[in-house]
Homo-oligomer: A and B are copies of this chain.
C-alpha cells in the first residue's frame, strides 16, 4: 500500500552498514544477478508495451536472454513483473499531471493531460490493459496508484470547470472512461496517432460548455 519500492529501483541486497537489524546481513546481489535483473526489466518494458499482459512469460524471458527460472527468481510472479512495469507508467503519468497542475493554465492543462494520457495508453499496451482491468472503481493491485491518478485528474477537471473550459455536469470518471475508450480503439489496431488525437478532440469538444442550446 504505502511504500511501493518495487524491483524497479536498482536492485541491491545490502543492508545499510551499522543497521541495528539482526546481524545476518544479507549479502549484496552478485554482479550477474544485477545485470539479469535489468535485462528482464528492459525486455518486459518493451514487450508489455507492445503486446500487453497477454504475452507469455517465456517470451519475456527469451527476449531478456534468460531462462524462465531466472526470471522467476527476480519476480516471483508474472503479475509482480507486470506490476513493476505498470507502476512506473502510472507514476510517470502522475508526474505529468502534477506538472500540468503546477505550470499550465487551468483551461489548457486538462486538455494537455488527456492527450498525453491517450498517447501513453495507446503506446503502452500494458498500461491500457492495467487500467482496463482496474477500471476506475475496480479493485486491483494498482488501485492505490490509480486512485491517486484519478484524484489528480479530478483537480484538473475542477480547475477546467472553474475556468469555463469544461461543463460542470461532467464527472471525472466520465472523462476518463471516454478517453480510455479512445485508447481502446487505438490498442486494437486501426487507429493511428492522428486518428487518436482526433478522437480525443471530439471528447474534449463534447465536454466543453455549449454556447447555445
Q: What is A's interface to B at a CB cutoff of 8 Å?
A: 132-133, 135-138, 170-171, 173-174, 177-178, 180-182, 184-185, 188-191, 195, 198-199, 201-207, 210-212
28 contacts between A and B (CB under 8 A): A135-B188, A137-B190, A138-B188, A138-B190, A170-B202, A173-B190, A173-B195, A174-B199, A174-B202, A177-B185, A178-B185, A178-B202, A180-B181, A180-B184, A180-B185, A181-B181, A181-B182, A181-B185, A184-B184, A202-B206, A202-B207, A203-B203, A205-B205, A205-B206, A205-B207, A205-B210, A206-B206, A211-B211
Closest B-chain residue to A198, C-beta based?
Answer: B174
CB distance from A103 to the nearest CB of B (A): 25
Chain A interface helix/strand/loop/mixed? helix
Report yes or no: A203 in contact with B188, Cβ–Cβ below 8 A: no
CB distance from A208 to the nearest CB of B (A): 8
In the docked arrangement, what's the CA distance between A199 and B206, Å? Answer: 9
